Amino acid sequence: MPGTGERCEDEALELDLCQVPRTACDAEGGIVCAATDIEPGHEFCNGEDDDCDGSTDEEYPDLGEACADGEGVCRVEGTYECSPDGRAGGLQFAGIRQNLPEAEVVGGGFELCWSGLYGGNDAMGGILEACNEGVLLLGCRPLNNPNLTLAAMGERAEILTDLGRERAAVHNHNGVDWYYSPSYSWGFVAQGTGVTRNSCDTSRVQSELRMCWHSSNNRITSGYRCGNTFLNGNNGWQRLIYHRPDGPGMICTAEADAPGEDACNALDDDCDGTVDEGFEDQMCVPPEPDADAGVVEDDAGIGEEDADVPPPEEDAEVPPPVEEDDAEVPPPVEEEDAAVPPPVEEEDAAVPLPVEEEDAAVPPPVEEEDVGVVANPVPAPDPAPEEADRGE
């Protein structure tokens, strides 16, 4: 019924492992969102538990980690995330598989893009146009069988390597020997076992692992084999092609900048990991810093306008320099007055005013001949009369 089997959302659903919410028909013929069983498949990077083990994306341990793209000045940083197409993710198996359940193929992200009977005749152009994704899986089986008798996968471009009509030519890829020609034959054999194309492969070495389809004039024609079963004109067996996107399941979000032309500047301008190519005979130096960057080297990269230091002196909170006559400290005094403080104005005095010379408690400076007498001497007992006369 149209509208069934599609992914849906219902927060009330209780899902077990290997169950997903999908639209389904209810008892009354309506469409509801129901818990739908699925087969365990390949674990893709898609935020879902594809292999039903209770974990999501466990094969991508670097998911969310830092990554980068590009070299030199082109380098850009990013993070790892799942590929936009959740079905991408490399090749799930190598070599040839026998009795491969189709459910596993679909669970691995593949979609059926073409099927035909061994007795049929189909245009090659239409087949390749329909099967246009980056990874192909080719197989064969009895009609309506749930398993593929034989199957092999690989990158589309590798599988379609045209070998013409060379009878023994093969192209090895993903553990399988492939051969393709739109006008001779198309098939695969076990690696290293050889082929005998006439036009299809008739070799019986490990015949159970050989699949071949006749082709002629850009058409897939009747026959020829699926393992040990030879099927010319047989409409009870199917030929099948599945496809899915190629590429990694996880990508880096970084995208390198476009490279430029290398110059003599000690930089990797063309982003190839080497600097100054073609200028080996010159001494190349890095470009000068931007003059408008506002960076002052002595201030450790802080411009004057951004510094956390006080503004220029005229805006400082400390008082400006004072003139000499306004200073709070006395000016220098002459040498002969050095022993006593200079006079100060009465209103500013914090100590008594200096006294006149005749009232001083200490004698004034003495003349040179009296240098032996100390200042402020204590009265000497009974000086000689001549000394007393000289002091009057």
Q: What is the pLDDT of residue 51?
A: 79
Q: How far apart are the two ends of the chain, measured CA to CA in Å?
A: 142
Best CA proximity match to 66, nearest among 255, 250, 252, 247: 252
Residues of the chain with pLDDT > 90, as a percent, come to: 37
For 38-94, the pLDDT digits (tens) are 777 677 787 878 778 888 888 788 889 999 988 878 889 999 888 776 666 667 788
Higher confidence at residue 40 or residue 201? 201
Higher confidence at residue 196 or residue 35? 196
CA dihedral 365, 369, 373, 377 (to 10 degrees): -50
User: With 50 as the cut, is the pLDDT of residue 137 above it?
Assistant: yes
298 band by pLDDT with thresholds 50, 70 and 90: very low
Tell me the pLDDT of the chain averaged across its residues.
78
Select, from the ranges 69-78, 207-216, 282-291, 299-308, the one with the highest average predicted confidence (pLDDT). Answer: 207-216
For 11-33, the pLDDT digits (tens) are 888 888 788 888 888 888 888 99
236 band by pLDDT with thresholds 50, 70 and 90: very high
User: Amino acid identity of 186?
Assistant: W
For 340-381, the pLDDT digits (tens) are 555 555 455 444 555 454 444 445 554 544 444 444 445 555
Q: What is the mean pLDDT of residues 286-290?
A: 76
Best CA proximity match to 210, nearest among 226, 222, 196: 226
Domain limits of the chain? 97-244
Q: What is the mean pLDDT of residues 238-249?
A: 88
159 Cβ contact partners less than 8 Å away, ≥ 6 residues apart: 136, 138, 173, 178, 180
Pair of tokens at residue 3: 């509208």
User: With 80 as the cut, is the pLDDT of residue 183 above it?
Assistant: yes
Pair of tokens at residue 94: 């190598």
300 band by pLDDT with thresholds 50, 70 and 90: very low
385 band by pLDDT with thresholds 50, 70 and 90: very low
Q: What is the pLDDT of residue 372?
A: 45
CA dihedral 121, 220, 116, 233 (to 10 degrees): 60
Higher confidence at residue 110 or residue 89? 110
